[in-house]
Amino acid sequence: MPYSYRRRRVSGVIISLVILTILLLGGALQAPQGQNVAPTSDLRPAPAATTVPSDALETLKLLSVKGRAPKTDYSREQFGSGWAIINGCDMRNIILNRDLVAVEIDDTCKVIKGTLNDPYTGQIIQFVRGADTSADVQIDHVIALSDAWQKGAQQLSSQQRAELANDPLELLAVDGAANQQKSDGDAATWLPPNKAFRCQYVARQIAVKHKYSLWVTPAEFDAMSDVLQACPAQTLPKA
């Protein structure tokens, strides 16, 4: 085996361990280029209750229910100018490394290939990094940022919104086409075609909304409740 190849493989293993450590222990949130974001430890905590039930249905009942606010002044930049960088790795590649298997990583912390068992469609996707293939797997904000803006995120600080947009709880690696189809829909307008994942999907949305004090519309509350009737013991994800 050529020495340079061995060195790349060893570097990839080291980077994988660094990313795993980030996900397990957390790290200092560094600003993406051009973005002024304070370290995570300096961010004010999101104004959510300190005690969170583990049950998704019970937590749903704690969320405020009211109408959608206007989309006035929304832009992606309200949630930061790009992916946060943690210990030299950007959040896109951290999430790819978390959600894919058989992952290969280059020396710059980029995932160059891996296999995704897509939660939204149930399909197996072979991911290969490249200009024509990277979009096959996208990182979805489970609560679309424009939807979050209209349901309470306007009241968060810019630092809190940047934290929300880069929170592993809010991010999933998914089929690109399904992510585009979802667009900025909420649970009342879009659910994963893979019905086996719907309970987990709704539970993740509830966890994010509770953590960041976002509300749900009446139609969204009903849609989430309907999904959880099939899995009343569904628990909330931790990350």
In a domain, 136, yes or no: yes
In a domain, 124, yes or no: yes
In a domain, 221, yes or no: yes
In a domain, 8, yes or no: yes
pLDDT value for 17: 55
Say which residues have a Cβ less than 8 Å from residue 49's Cβ, sequence separation at least 6: 62, 210
Is 29 in contact with 39 (CB distance < 8 Å)?
Answer: yes
The 10s digit of each residue's pLDDT in 7-66 is: 445 455 555 655 655 555 444 344 343 333 333 333 333 444 446 678 999 999 999 999
Domain count, the chain: 1
**Sequential pLDDT tens for the chain (239 residues):** 444 444 445 455 555 655 655 555 444 344 343 333 333 333 333 444 446 678 999 999 999 999 999 999 999 999 999 999 999 999 999 999 999 999 999 999 999 999 999 999 999 999 999 999 999 999 999 999 999 999 999 999 999 999 999 999 999 999 999 999 999 999 999 999 999 999 999 999 999 999 999 999 999 999 999 999 999 999 999 88
In a domain, 21, yes or no: yes
Listing DSSP states for 113-136 in one string gives EEEEE-TTT--EEEEE-STTTGGG
Q: How far is the first Cα of the chain from the last one, in angstroms, to the nearest whole number?
A: 38
Q: Which residues lie across from 123 on neighbouring strands?
A: none
The boundaries of the domain holding residue 78 are 3-228
In a domain, 9, yes or no: yes
In a domain, 50, yes or no: yes
In a domain, 77, yes or no: yes
CA distances to 10, 22, 38, 91 from 87, rounded to whole Å, are: 18, 8, 14, 10
